[in-house]
Amino acid sequence: MSIYFDNAATTPMHPEVVKVMSDMMLNNFGNPSSTHAAGREVKTMIEDARRTVAKLMGCTPGEIFFTSGGTEADNMAIRKSVEDLGVKHIITSPIEHHAVLHTIEELAHQGKVAMHLVKLTPNGHIDMADLERLLQENPSALVSLMHSNNELGNLIDIAEVGELCKKYNAYFHCDTVQTVGHQPIDLSKLNVTFIAAGAHKFNGPKGVGFIYINSAVKIHPYITGGAQERNMRGGTENAYGIVGMAKALEIAVANMEHDKAHLTDLKKYFIEQLKAHIPGVQFNGDAEGRSAYTVLNVSFPPTPIGEMLLFKLDIAGICASGGSACSSGSNIGSHVLHAIGADKNRPAVRFSFGHQNTKAEVDTAIQALVEMLKPKEQAVN
Ligand SMILES: Cc1ncc(COP(=O)(O)O)c(C=O)c1O
């Protein structure tokens, strides 16, 4: 059985979520748009799910729209800001997820917006003074900054960024894909225009997510077709996914305090063990500062096995993600590590944690790493 330290990529589904979804698949197959009883009961389940999600996020049900996941929600926030809100300038950072960066780059390439990249501090945080300068220079912009960086774990202060956006009359899209269900988010207290979420990051099903659209802004349909999602996104709803996502969020929020304590301790233990057993180990981003307890990006000392480290971990039964700062040749590398100036000779491995992980798994991973990184004895002739 492998050790799964890749929970920022995706998480295992919670058994209760599987149960709710499979019960529904067996018993409730109606089309939610049908007016007969079979359709109405599924429609009711979707609207109950919307109420649950809204309550847990501190907003109204009318502000939640279900999507196919985080990528679609990011696309919708950015593209609709340009099409419907008259946004001509987008301020973002070089370490956003590609769902955000590639969308803005495409719009910029088409000449629809100007893209402005905010400076980063050496440990990968947003330079708030530079953000304020960009806001001053570009009125009525859209700011798109992620809550927690999926590669580094660095967190922004959403409240602080939201206040700054309000001061300069800017829209604020926060990609919260890595934090919904893991960090407290109370939309009733934040100046945010949009947030994006994907259920598979919080023990829910894949291919479903949501966008929050603050009721103060009005946008037109994103996908034209039927009148689903109050006319905003045509197409028969992913009813099972939506109901499973609401259940997953309910469980994640109920367990948040407990999981936070467990994983904060686990991440600290991982850092301590790495420092104790791997001389010269470093961390990318602000691992021991303002960072999500779910993500740890480790920068290993240069080693002859280099990029093979991740492969060797896989062979040893440890699932993690990697990346390097390379930006040339066949190895495209990580745009995030490149942007923070990480040393491309140091292999980087992202370990990301879920509530099921244990210290015993950390011990196994450390042992495996020590073995892999041990200098090989020179053959004596
Ligand atoms: C920060 C961030 N944004 C967006 C996404 C895309 O989400 P989805 O897989 O639900 O489309 C991810 C997934 O890796 C992510 O980590």
pLDDT at 372 over 70: yes
Residue nearest to atom 5 of ligand 1 (CA): 70
Q: Is 178 in the pocket of ligand 1 (CB under 6 A)?
A: yes
Which region, left, alpha or beta, applies to residue 314 given φ > 0 means left and ψ of -120 to 50 means alpha? alpha
| Mean pLDDT rounded to a whole number for the chain | 95
Q: Is 205 in the pocket of ligand 1 (CB under 6 A)?
A: no
Alpha helices in 85-178 (DSSP H): 98-109, 128-137, 158-167
Q: Is 198 in the pocket of ligand 1 (CB under 6 A)?
A: yes
Based on the residue annotation, tell me whether 326 is a catalytic residue of this protein.
yes
Neighbouring residues of 44: CB distance < 8 A, sequence distance ≥ 6: none
Q: Provide the residue type at 82 as one letter.
A: V
Higher pLDDT, residue 234 or 376: 234
263-282 average pLDDT score: 98
**Ligand 1 centre from 8 Cα, in Å?**
9
- pLDDT tens column, 150-209: 999 999 999 999 999 999 999 999 999 999 999 999 999 999 999 999 999 999 999 999
Of the residues 158, 178, 297, which should be mutated to test ligand 1's pocket, given the most ligand atoms within 8 Å of the CB? 178
**Beta strands 64-67 and 209-213: pairing type?**
antiparallel
**Ligand 1 centre from 281 Cα, in Å?**
28
- pLDDT tens column, 103-148: 999 999 999 999 999 999 999 999 999 999 999 999 889 999 999 9
Confidence at residue 306, expressed as pLDDT on a 0 to 100 scale: 82
Q: What is the band of 265 on the pLDDT scale with cuts at 50, 70, 90?
A: very high
150 CA closest ligand 1 atom index: 16
**Ligand 1 centre from 198 Cα, in Å?**
7
pLDDT at 330 over 90: no
Q: How far apart are CA 198 and CA 215, in angstroms?
A: 21
72 CA closest ligand 1 atom index: 11
φ/ψ (deg, to 5) at 196 = -125, 145
Give the tokens for residue 49: 């799910």
- pLDDT tens column, 332-352: 689 999 999 999 999 999 999
pLDDT at 57 over 50: yes
Q: How far apart are CA 292 and CA 149, in angstroms?
A: 8
Confidence at residue 134, expressed as pLDDT on a 0 to 100 scale: 98
Q: What is the band of 329 on the pLDDT scale with cuts at 50, 70, 90?
A: very low
pLDDT at 331 over 90: no
Q: Is 228 in the pocket of ligand 1 (CB under 6 A)?
A: no
Confidence at residue 307, expressed as pLDDT on a 0 to 100 scale: 79
pLDDT at 328 over 50: no
pLDDT at 283 over 60: yes
